[in-house]
A = this chain, B = another copy of it.
Amino acid sequence: MSATAPRRERRTRYVVLGMLLQGPANGYELRQRIDSTIGNFWQESYGQLYPALHELREDGLVATVGSATGAREAQRYEITLAGRDALRAWVVRPPQPQPERNELLLKVFFAELAPAEVGQQVTRAADEATANAARLDALHAQVSERVKGHPALPAWLATIEYGRAGSRVLAEWARRTAAELDAMTSAQPARRSTRAKKPGR
């Protein structure tokens, strides 16, 4: 009768737990920490973060620590042993298949309507990817240097290497594809602005 709850994974909770592995934090700090470490492939908003913290405390997976007085030096949360266990249990479960969605590819797929304009978008994507790869190069060096010796370092670097490799291959693809779209443009007659004449095809 009632639709059974699809029981999702509540990943925000595990992200919070995982970030607390690096030490206690309040909600605000947690967000900064997320942005500066896993920000390249994950993000959380306060609208998710604060409710998650409350729930986790109720469930005993995090505990408050320190004295809450005024704004500065606010309440901090730390992960509990139960929290560590819960996090580990999630980490070892195989990742849920993620439905990928790529809006740029969608526009490329529909590029017959405006090959030149889509070509420009793809070129812009190439430039952004190149810049991103350079940024990740710098980040890689910085992190290697700053947390040298930490046992988790290879894992952290691996996530940066992922982004870097992805950006590089995206840049290459985008440059090839932009050229392809240019060829489509010159192969086809000039297009009407908004008035369509013949439906084509």
Contact = CB atoms under 8 A, between A and B. Distances in A.
Interface string A83-111: 01101100110111011111111111111
A185 to B, nearest CB: 11
A195 to B, nearest CB: 8
A194 interface: yes
The complex is assembled from copies of this chain, and their number is 2
Contacts of A37: 109
Given A92-B118, A95-B104, A124-B94, A110 B42 contact: no
A118 B87 CA distance: 13
Contact of A112 (B95, B100, B114, B151): B151
Interface stretch (A48-56, A59-67, A68-76, A156-164): A156-164
Contact of A91 (B84, B117, B166, B183): B117
Interface string A27-64: 00000000001101111000000000000000000000
A18 B109 contact: yes
A180 B154 contact: yes
A103 B96 contact: yes
Interface of A: 11, 14-15, 18, 21, 37-38, 40-43, 81, 84-85, 87-88, 91-92, 94-96, 98-115, 117-118, 121, 124, 151-152, 154-156, 158-159, 161-162, 165-166, 168-170, 172-173, 176-177, 180-181, 183-184, 187-188, 194, 196, 201
